């Protein structure tokens, strides 16, 4: 058996720093989103192109049991929406189905599978 000699204070400090880092990361994302909203069409991606607004609708997580699943989806204004089958996602369409691997939405243009946000987008999610 291996034991480490870590004091309770060290663990509390580590927890405090992790919490602070998570909060700072969210503040940075909020500031970036706010800047994008205040200057629409001026933010260019890494390739020099303006990102598509369709990227705003991404699945952050899928939670639930059996067929009672809920998907947390990002909206174009930077907020999140808890989607369930039958609900309408503002600015997108009606949720047709949710599984652990996909979220299908019926839009005016037809059915659309939503992309999942990259892992690590929100700490502690997925």
* Rg, Å, the chain Cα set: 19
> Model pTM?
0.53
- Give the pLDDT confidence score for residue 10 in this predicted structure: 79
Helix (H) or strand (E) holding 115: strand 115-116
**Which residues make beta-bridge pairs with 69?**
64
CA–CA separation, 33 vs 87, rounded Å? 25
Domain 54-116 - what CATH class? mainly beta
DSSP 3-state of 120: coil
The structural domains of the chain, with segments of one domain joined by +, span 8-40, 54-116
For residue 48, the 8-state DSSP code is: S
- Give the pLDDT confidence score for residue 44 in this predicted structure: 45
Average pLDDT by consecutive 10-residue portion of the chain (126 residues)? 67 81 81 71 44 68 90 89 94 94 93 86 52
């Amino acid at each position: 058996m291996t034991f480490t000699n870590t004091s309770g204070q060290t663990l509390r400090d580590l927890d405090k720093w992790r919490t602070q880092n998570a909060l700072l990361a969210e503040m940075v994302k909020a500031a970036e989103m706010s800047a994008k909203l205040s200057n629409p069409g001026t933010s260019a991606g890494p390739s020099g192109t303006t990102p598509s607004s369709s990227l705003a609708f991404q699945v952050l997580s899928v939670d639930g049991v059996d067929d009672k699943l809920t998907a947390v989806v990002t909206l174009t204004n930077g907020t999140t929406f808890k989607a369930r089958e039958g609900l309408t996602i503002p600015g997108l369409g009606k949720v047709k189905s949710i599984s652990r691997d996909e979220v299908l939405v019926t839009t005016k243009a037809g059915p659309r599978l939503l992309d999942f946000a990259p892992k690590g987008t929100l700490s502690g999610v997925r």
